[in-house]
Amino acid sequence: MDERKPSRLKVWTPLLFSFIMIFGMVLGFQLRDSLRYKRDISTIIERNDRLEQIIDLVKEKYVDSVNTNALYNDAVNGIISHLDPHTVYITPDELAAVNEDLEGSFFGIGVEFAIIKDTIQIMSVISEGPAAKVNVEIGEQIIKVGDSLVAGTHITSERIIRMLRGKENSKVPVTLHAPLSNRTRNVIIQRGAIPLYSLDASFMLHPSVGYIRINRFSATTYEEFSKAMQQLMSQGMQHLILDLRQNPGGYLEAATSIVSDFLDSNKLIVYTEGRNSKRAEYNAGDAPLFKKGRLAVLIDESSASASEIVAGAIQDWDRGIIVGRRSFGKGLVQSQYELGDGSAIRLTTAKYYTPSGRCIQRSYAKGREAYVKDFNQRYHSGELTTADSNQLIASDTVKYYTSNKRVVYSGGGIAPDISVPYDTNRFNGASLTFVYSEELRNAIMNYYISHQVALKKFANVDAYLKQIDITALMQQVLSSLPESHKKTAERLLSKKETKDFVALQMKAQLARILFKNTGYYSVLSSDDHAIKKALEAISGSQYLSIIRR
């Protein structure tokens, strides 16, 4: 009888099935662990169907017509209202503007304008921009865009922005009127990339002290900052005042790049961590640009997020001093998820922690309304107006320690090393309303138009500061105000401190027309209490005593 050997397939089949079974069991356990905190897909579909069914039912059966997009938006915002204050839903229309602001550019004609008495007045022209190439000048008025009349039509800023912006290299006809010469002309402007600068100003405050002010952290911020630092160092800068007041934050990478220029290599700048996000550390690079000079960072109650990361790292490593008032207290990390209709959700996924372990985020346990009203609470508690506000802050927070064993506190925001109280004598409702009013802005622009030949003789900001006749400026500006505003001005100017404040603001606003933001902040810096405190500390022994070196 003929015997045959078993085939190789029959021999290896049991082993193959065993291997497949074991692999399947291991894979199953791994999937179980990875999906432990995820909702079942059928639940997601069921709940999504439920929302769709309700909206469809309302659309088909409701007694009146409804806007279904508004229903969706309200539904999403209803869900988000149960989360933290910084998780937000961004509509498609809003998303483009938000991204533009952070990316640092858009396509337009390159002018800044103000609507004064229903007329679009050009307040600034970007150097070498599209409008500058066809000789558009400050003080000119936009009468038409294309075939559309825009003067005297109650047009809004949003609408005129939409008309002036467009695709790159597209052309837009604009009709301009020059009030001084009473000349009207037509120009065709080719739209181009318009930078949105995040660095407001950089200049020398003192022969050895430079000043940089950053308004947000965008994709171009570090490039702007690095260029400004190189220029200031070439002018003899040995110490720096970095102004982050009113800075709401932005890109983490921009903030960490700036901090990296102040710290030794590999030092921890910030770390993030969340329930579903592993700890991620951000460390300083290898080639700091400004390692040894004295450093003061200015913050206030509107300095948030990335601004607080900068201030927290500088403070925790005792690399510099913090001057001003406690920062906003926004230490939540948002990840942006774009949705199918062009909208997006910025969902909080982690928290920021400073090198010492402090969580920057303040409590939102009492709800969004209480969270938003925190400024009022700080004011009424005396924190904003008290010279030594840190005593109030420390009473209800947890202690942490800097590299030199100084005590710092958590509890939300970064507390300054030197407190500068809010100046209620100058920064009150009446004076602020007046100095930022349309009427005063219009009067200053009229002064510029009627004196532009003489004003253009000022070669730079320093010449302007030394030679401008502030008394003549005030008299002529105030005389051109409407009668109703003249009475307000007379009442405000009866107090010397308020009069000095108004005069300084007029001088600064005119300097902005002549020299842009550098002129504006150069003027204001001469009577800025926080800058004065920072200069005093940097120039004396207080600096070293604070950081304990």
**Active-site annotation holder among 200, 243, 316, 417:** 316
What DSSP character marks residue 242? E
How far apart CA 211 and CA 215 sit, in angstroms, is 13
**Residue 396 designated active-site:** no
Longest distance between any two alpha carbons in the chain, whole Å: 128
3-state secondary structure of 338: strand
Q: Catalytic residue at 330?
A: yes
b/e per residue, 241-266, with b = 16+ CB within 10 A? bbbbbbbbbbbbebbbbbbbbbbeee
Look up 33 and say whether it is catalytic: no
Q: Bridge partners of 298? A: 243, 323
Positions of E strands within 58-191: 88-90, 105-108, 111-116, 119-125, 141-145, 148-149, 171-178, 183-190
DSSP 2-15: ---PPPHHHHHHHH
Q: Coil, strand, or helix at residue 227?
A: helix
**What are the CA-CA distances from residue 511 to residues 168, 224, 416, 456 (Å)?**
32, 22, 31, 11
468: helix, strand or coil: coil
Going from the C-alpha of 438 to that of each of 33, 366, 421, 485, the distances in angstroms are 62, 38, 28, 11
Q: Are 339 and 345 in contact (CB under 8 A)?
A: yes
Catalytic residue among 198, 218, 300, 330: 330
d(CA 249, CA 255): 8
Query: What tokens appear for 485 in the block?
Result: 């505003």
Helices 41-61 and 68-80 sit at what angle, rounded to 10 degrees? 140
Give CA separation, 302 vs 97, 297, 323, 326, in Å. 21, 14, 14, 9
Give the C-alpha distances (Å, rounded to integers) separating 341 from 53, 73, 75, 167, 338. 19, 12, 15, 22, 8
| Contacts of 291 by beta carbon, 8 Å cutoff, 6+ apart | 262, 263, 264
Long-range contacts of 131-138 (CB under 8 A, 24+ apart): 131/189, 133/189, 133/190, 134/187, 134/188, 134/189, 135/187, 136/109, 136/111, 136/174, 136/176, 136/187, 136/189, 137/178, 138/448, 138/513
Measured CA to CA, the distance from residue 543 to residue 549 in angstroms comes to 9
Contact residues for 177 (Cβ-Cβ < 8 A; gap 6+) = 140, 141, 143, 151, 183, 184
State the catalytic residue, choosing from 305, 327, 431, 525: 305
Q: How far apart are CA 226 and CA 231, in angstroms?
A: 9
Beta-bridged to residue 195, according to DSSP, are 105
Active site residues: 305, 316, 330
